[in-house]
Each structure stands twice: as structure tokens, then as C-alpha cells.
Amino acid sequence: MRVTVATILLSVLASIGCPKPEQPNPSVPTVPAPADIITQLLDAHNRHRAQHRIPALTINVKLTAAAQKHAQWMFNNRNMSHTGANGSSFADRIRAEGYNFRTGGENIAAGYKSVEAVMDGWMKSQGHRANILNHNYKEVGLGVVNNYWCADFGTPISGNAATEIIIELPGGIIAESLD
């Protein structure tokens, strides 16, 4: 059976109750990204990686759940930040989804109205570009709510890591878990 990005996204949205704002605002409806936007965003990441002979990223359901929930949180709070609900880091959020990682990173953005615009912004930022072109990342989760964007990158490991190093670059975060 072939699993598509649309199938994964629908599964994630169903598992998180098709995200609803914590405090609904009827004048600004919540609009989770349609599957075709997620597909376009994944394709855009992989086009940039291909230009640098870096293997393509694959969608991961757990990373996608973390990214979608964080995009929703940013939208609900009108706050573009790597620090989320209850002070969570991206590493906290992907672990909460059950994703054990060797290395990971996160890109966020707000205000961009298209895949092309957000990718252009990310590729012009040293930290974001480093995450997109990081050859150590194998998987990605993508979330978009209205004009809030989140990409969580990772490479899974078996078991739990004992030590973690987190490096914050301008515009992006990189984490390494050491066995």
C-alpha cells in the first residue's frame, strides 16, 4: 500500500482533532493547510536539497503532528516563536509525539502567503537554509495554519538519547542527541 502526503496529513489532522483554536476568534478562522500545500512545501524543500545533491526528505507522521500543532499554537497566540506552549522547545514537542531523534531542527515563519515566498525567505536566512540543506536530516514534518509555517526536521534513532546539545542560529535551531 502506498502512503501519500495527503494520507499522512489527513491522519495527523484526525489524530489531533483537526486543530481548533484554543480561543476561537470568529473574525479570523483557523485554516489548516490543505494537503496540496504540504506536498508543494515538501517538494520545494527537496528541490533545494537536490540542487546540492542532498538526499530527499521524507514525511514523518510524528514530526508532522508536532509541526502542525506548533503552527496552530503560533496562530492561536499570534506569536511566531521557537518557544511554544508551556515553554516547550521543538525538541520537547517532537518527543511528546513519540519521535526519538539523533539530530533535529526547526524552521518557523509567519506572514508568508505562499510556498514560494516562505521558501525564498528561509533560503535567504543562514539558520533556516542550514536546516533545509542539512544532509544529516532524513525526515520532516510540515505544518501550516493560515500564514504560520513550521518545519520540523529529524533523523530518528532507536531508544532514548542520554545527552542533548541545542544550538540556536539566527532563524533556526539545531539539536543533536548523543548516545
In tens, the pLDDT along 66-111 reads 999 999 999 999 999 999 989 999 999 999 999 999 999 999 999 9
Non-local CB neighbours of 30 within 8 Å, separated by 6+ positions: 19, 20, 21, 24, 72, 75, 145, 146
Helix, strand or coil, per DSSP, at residue 16: coil
Query: Whole-number mean pLDDT of the chain?
Result: 80
Mean pLDDT to the nearest integer, 109-127: 97
Q: Which residue has the cell 519521535?
A: 99
Per the CB < 8 A criterion, the answer to whether 19 and 72 are in contact is: yes
Q: Which residue has the cell 540542487?
A: 51
Q: What is the pLDDT of residues 22-40, one digit of tens each?
A: 343 444 455 556 788 999 9
**Residue 9 carries which DSSP code?**
H
Please, is 133 exposed, middle or buried when counting C-beta atoms within 10 Å of its C-beta (0-12, 13-18, 19+)? Answer: middle
Of residues 84 and 54, the one with the higher pLDDT is 54
Q: Which residue has the cell 511528546?
A: 96
d(CA 63, CA 69): 10
* pLDDT score at 133: 98
d(CA 133, CA 35): 23
d(CA 163, CA 53): 31
* pLDDT score at 5: 47
